Chain A
């Protein structure tokens, strides 16, 4: 499954509800995300964007519904999925260098106990080079700038050589050089037929960087090609306040 057809579905989110402390943060999201596209997930703070990524990755329990990746349950599709978490989710004082982080992308294919070898090291170095970080391979990660840290995370995902990439705000708080580097990598991934689903905050750059968009605010507002879906009306629906009914319903569930 290296080259995806235009009609193929990368991720099927089937009627998924996710709740924290019984309070739903995503309501019955039902969407097909096509393979071979750069897909932005857009929505206001607290809309459940990161939660949706985590639900696809199996990192949060689903209150209902199911997720399939290329028609398979996650359990059988792990090797196809690469993940770039939010930069703040890890401790950057951890005693490891940039190459060590990139090398983690190879762990999945190594399985338990087996150590990364020379080929893995080279793959990790190549990935670092792709994001312009080859010169920083042996730099302790706390001594990298925020943008450089983000690029190391991206290199780690590239080292996974996945078919589907899930990225949580890859552009958050990065410098201009990093933003360009990430855009280049995204386009290269698309040319290789890979799928990228990224939580994105900057509405202005959505049409420039992505070709498919999913508008989310606790529920799915719209999903489709950018030129069809990324309209003033849909954005208004997404950002024009939450549905008070949903909020009250969530409160009602929490109170029980």
Chain B
């Protein structure tokens, strides 16, 4: 796919829009105010319409002022209604922003009768129009949207860099921020102002409805990928640029709405993060659970062989018996295979035996099991026939320190059934 000059500019505008939105978006996500971002991005509409009706132009400054006032009005009004009217905060916000948004729609449809303002353009944006409105800058003819979105991206990034410490503090612990002299309320309203103005400069490209995807999506994805704030900011910027760029190119390729495709790309990115995030992702959790299940199966097999050796020293157990004893199936097969691969068990003509390494592991496990049984019997007063099953579960989680802690507490060589508690290094 070859891009011509205008499409390159549009691609750049999309990427810059993503970056400008991602930075304040991170703080919205961390402060659990994603919905306030959504509310503000909708509620600025009457501000935009009023600015347009009053000045008759789509110049940036009046639009910014109008939107700023409407955005702050949303934040202040919903807080005020919550307090005064005894209404839940989300309900107040829902009513305020949808009413303001509807007011905006009416104002625009009124205005559209005699002037050039397309309601659809305001709602969904028209990024494809980027190359057609140009200004001269440094002797080059550059699309207005690129300059505006570029400035927003730079200003937002610089604000985040300069006030990084304050934003971090107020987002994490507003009460401490206020008590240290950094007014959390001031920082909150400044952030809302930034969100409102970012929404204004983005609405021509992605529209006031979909801008929230750009604000929240990349930030929420980045939050899943890292546990450091600075890295989260960087990642959200990269993810936003990628989604915006890829979304625009996909829209060109399939000839569909650019803003829609960009938002879908953000959603796809988010879904990927939900699945693939390193610690909290679905795949990572699944792998962890499978690993744990395998470890438990292997340990159960070791324990079984050890106990059988206690009853009949030197004897072997048929592989089928071992697999059946730990539940059978693929899980048991894998576990037994893992044990022989790590040389914990050896196969002989009459069955499986523990190797020296396997014996040592098994000894620790059985020691944990019987110590726990003794602990339950002595401290929780469980009857003897009740202690085996909980110990069967618990034995896999007892660390060496805990094991010796229990041992020091109990000072016994026998478990409640009178079986010997094996020492660790015999």
Contacts and interface: CB of A to CB of B under 8 A. Distances in A.
Interface of A: 21, 54, 57-59, 78, 81, 83, 85, 89-91, 94-97, 100-101, 104, 107-108, 110-116, 140, 142, 156
A112 B229 contact: no
A21 B85 CA distance: 10
B337 interface: no
B172 A94 contact: yes
Contacts of A142: 227
B319 to A, nearest CB: 40
B182 interface: yes
B179 A90 contact: no
Interface residues of B, number: 28
B173 A85 contact: yes
Nearest to B176: A83
Given A85-B173, A104-B172, A78 B229 contact: no
Interface string B276-305: 000000000000000000000000000000
A95 B223 contact: yes
B182 A112 contact: yes
A130 B231 CA distance: 29
A96 B173 contact: no
27 contacts: A54-B175, A57-B175, A58-B178, A59-B175, A59-B178, A59-B179, A78-B179, A83-B175, A83-B179, A85-B173, A85-B175, A91-B30, A91-B32, A94-B172, A94-B229, A95-B227, A95-B232, A100-B168, A104-B168, A104-B173, A107-B166, A112-B163, A112-B182, A113-B166, A116-B165, A140-B227, A142-B227
Nearest to B184: A59
B228 interface: yes
Interface of B: 30, 32, 83, 86, 162-166, 168-169, 171-173, 175-176, 178-182, 223, 226-229, 231-232
A108 B172 contact: no
B227 A57 contact: no
Given A59-B178, A113-B166, 20 more contacts: A59-B175, A83-B175, A85-B176, A89-B175, A94-B30, A95-B223, A95-B232, A96-B227, A96-B228, A96-B229, A100-B168, A104-B168, A104-B169, A104-B172, A107-B169, A108-B181, A111-B181, A112-B163, A115-B165, A140-B227
B172 A78 contact: no
B162 to A, nearest CB: 6
Nearest to B172: A94
Contact of B180 (A78, A97, A100): A78
Contacts of B171: 94
B216 to A, nearest CB: 16
B209 to A, nearest CB: 28
A136 to B, nearest CB: 14
Contacts of A110: 165
B30 A112 contact: no
B19 to A, nearest CB: 19
A95 B181 contact: no
Contacts of A57: 175, 178-179
Contact of B165 (A21, A90, A107): A107
Contacts of B165: 107, 110, 113-116
A97 B172 contact: no
Contacts of A89: 173, 175
Contacts of A83: 175-176, 179
Nearest 6 A/B pairs, CB to CB: A108-B180, A140-B227, A83-B179, A57-B179, A95-B229, A95-B227
A54 B175 CA distance: 9
Contact of B228 (A58, A90, A95): A95
Nearest to A81: B179
Nearest to B178: A59
Contacts of B226: 95
Contacts of B229: 94-96, 100
